[in-house]
Structure 1
Amino acid sequence: MGKRQIIYTNRQIGGARELLDKEINLITREQRVWHGYVTAIDQDKIELKDSRFWKHTFKVADIDKIYSEVITDY
């Protein structure tokens, strides 16, 4: 079993419904890293729930990249 990393750039994030309910790493333009699950997403913002169940809202314009992992069979 392996893993594959999918990287979303700033332009790909807005409205990317496939990220909903996924575990991600979010990197802001200030190079801060946030880890959690996507609970809401639209064209302008994304909401993330961390391991302490706190919700954080980020503007898409403030996000540099999002990393998501997919487990593969090989």
Structure 2
Amino acid sequence: MGKRQIIYRQDRIGGNQDLLNREVNLVTNEARVWHGTITTVGSSEVELKDARSGKHRFAINQIDQIYCEIKTDY
């Protein structure tokens, strides 16, 4: 079994419902990395819940990319 990384750049994030409830790494424009689960995806912002149950909101223009790993059969 392997893993594959999916990268969502800024232009693919807003309103993308595929990101909901997915465990991701969110990279800001300042190169800060946040890890957690996406709870809300709107046209202008994303909400991420971290492991300590803290919720963080990011404007789409603050995000460089969001990436996640999925397991594959090969």
Alignment TM class, shorter chain as reference? over 0.9
Secondary structure at 2:53 match in 1? coil
Specify the alignment match of 1:13 in structure 2: 13
TM-score, reference length from structure 2: 0.98
Q: CA RMSD in A?
A: 0.4
Instruction: Map Cα deviations across residues 34-55 of structure 1 (whole Å, 9 max, x no partner).
Output: 0000000111000000010100
Percent of residue pairs identical: 54
- Write the letter of the residue equivalent to 2:60: V
Runs of 4+ in 1 over 2 A off after TM superposition: none
Unaligned runs of 5+ in 1: none
Alignment partners' CA distance in 1, 2:70 and 2:43: 24
Q: Which runs of 5+ in 2 are unaligned?
A: none
Q: TM-score, normalising length from structure 1?
A: 0.98
